[in-house]
Amino acid sequence: MTEKFYKVWDVLDTYKSAIYKQDADKFLAIYNPDIHIFDSWNKWESRGIAAWKENVAEWFNGLGKENILLKVDFNDVVIEEDERAAFVHCAVTFAAHDEDSDETLRQMTNRFTFGLKKASGSWSIVHEHSSLPIDMDTGKGIFDSK
């Protein structure tokens, strides 16, 4: 059965809970099969759910090997929507916690933009762009700017 996301916030809440549970199927359910992603990690882009699924599997497997639970918080969320399309921009903080002690090991905040569309009454992400500001002197991403 395909999960339905009747509100844009349903998509964002599922994003958070699926990452925390490291549930790749639940996480991928919020994405349109034709997803186009510009991510802050390793690859310039991912096109299509199959390519994104590979990235997600690698990400979640790495978290499991490190014994990490990843907590996600959305901040400064702005949602613009009509009957068929929605645009979201926000700051997303990813905080890695030790699964046994719940100690915060590291965290970073990325800027995110999501483009969503509604089909058959359910929202899905069709475009996602995450970014970090760049230190112009070093050329490296600034992970703690928020």
Say if strands 122-131 and 31-38 run parallel, antiparallel, or are unpaired.
Answer: parallel
**Residue 32 belongs to what H/E stretch?**
strand 31-38
Highest mean pLDDT of the ranges 7-16, 61-70, 103-112: 7-16
Average pLDDT in the chain: 91
pLDDT at 145: 61
- Rounded mean pLDDT of 96-117? 93
User: Can you read off the two tokens belonging to residue 34?
Assistant: 């034709």
Q: What is the pTM of this model?
A: 0.90
pLDDT at 1: 42
Confidence of residue 144 (pLDDT cuts 50, 70, 90): low
pLDDT at 142: 74
pLDDT at 99: 87
Report CA-CA distances (Å) from 63 to 26, 57, 108, 136: 16, 10, 15, 30
- Rounded mean pLDDT of 21-36? 96
**What is d(CA 111, CA 120) in angstroms, rounded to the nearest whole number?**
29
